[in-house]
């Protein structure tokens, strides 16, 4: 895609700090990192988001994810690691070429807050069953 910043990074038009590359994927340092080691993994094929990702692209990308995670772990020994992918502007996606963030976590003041208020009381087992049925009905659509 001509106007896609991540396609330009993959093809070298825009410089990046490469971490890993194979025939299918490219990993590089986020230019606006949250923590030391914050890395992005993208498919070389332009794919907007997870919704539009072909299974083969997903298989190739996620096959590399443990390698990236373990390299970050070995390099920096973080207390933890979040992998985050935003799909759609409402979910926080700003570059519309799929990317998986690897964010090593060092302490509670590192700037990432992953907390949510569960609504367990609303989702009784019956409701969960109905929700699951709706998803199942759409698995192949």
Q: Which residues are catalytic?
A: 99
Question: Tokens 């991540």, residue?
Answer: 6
CB-nearer residue toward Zn ion: 12 or 80: 12
CB-nearer residue toward Zn ion: 82 or 86: 86
Residue nearest to Zn ion (CB): 4
Nearest approach in angstroms of CB 48 to Zn ion is: 8
Nearest approach in angstroms of CB 47 to Zn ion is: 8
The contact set with Zn ion (CB under 5 A) reads 1, 4, 6-7, 46, 97
Q: Are 20 and 43 in contact (CB under 8 A)?
A: no
What residues pair up with 104 in beta bridges, in sequence order?
Answer: 81
Token reading at 108: 């509670």
Within a 13 Å sphere around the CA of 43, how many CA atoms are in the beta-carbon half? 23
The secondary element (H helix, E strand) that includes residue 57 is helix 55-76
CB-nearer residue toward Zn ion: 31 or 127: 31
């Amino acid at each position: 895609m001509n106007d896609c910043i991540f396609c330009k990074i993959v093809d070298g038009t825009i410089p990046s700090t490469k971490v890993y590359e194979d025939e299918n994927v490219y990993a590089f340092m986020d230019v606006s990192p949250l923590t030391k080691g914050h890395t992005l993994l993208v498919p070389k094929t332009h794919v907007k988001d997870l919704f539009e990702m072909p299974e083969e692209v997903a298989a190739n990308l996620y096959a590399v994810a443990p390698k990236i995670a373990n390299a970050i772990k070995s390099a920096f020994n973080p207390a933890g690691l979040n992998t985050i992918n935003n799909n759609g502007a409402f979910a926080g996606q700003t570059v519309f070429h799929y990317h998986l963030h690897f964010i090593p976590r060092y302490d509670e003041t590192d700037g990432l807050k992953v907390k949510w208020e569960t609504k367990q009381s609303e989702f009784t087992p019956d409701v969960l069953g109905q929700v699951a049925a709706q998803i199942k009905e759409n698995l192949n659509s």
